[in-house]
Amino acid sequence: GNGALAIVLISGWTMFAKQVPHWILVWGADDDHLFIHDPWVEDSRDESHVDAASLPIPRTLFDRMARWGRAGLKAAIIVTRSHGDAAG
């Protein structure tokens, strides 16, 4: 709605079966999905950046992915566009 982007920490387990922290960009959503760009590509599987662009992730799956470790930590960086002069 407001044009904000979110850089979200996820567990890599769900996406590529590696238990590593991983950052993705969430750029949009609809009622059922979040749309992400994922910078991780597997050259050994002939993946390209096109394979990692505009992936629809069901909200229920994303809720599980966006937790890290046994404590279920969550982290995100929200990026918005400035609507005025930032000087000052």
Backbone angles phi, psi at 66, to 5 degrees: -85, 35
pLDDT band at 30 (very low <50, low <70, confident <90, very high): very high
**Which one-letter DSSP state was computed for residue 31?**
S
CA angle (63, 53, 26) in 5-degree steps? 35
Is pLDDT at 45 greater than 80 in this prediction? Answer: no
Within the chain, residue ranges assigned H as helices are 13-16, 59-65
Domain edges within the chain = 5-79
Q: Which residue has the tokens 């850089």?
A: 7
* 49-19-69 Cα angle (round to 5): 120
pTM: 0.75
**pLDDT of res. 88:** 47
CB distance 6 to 26 below 8 Å = yes
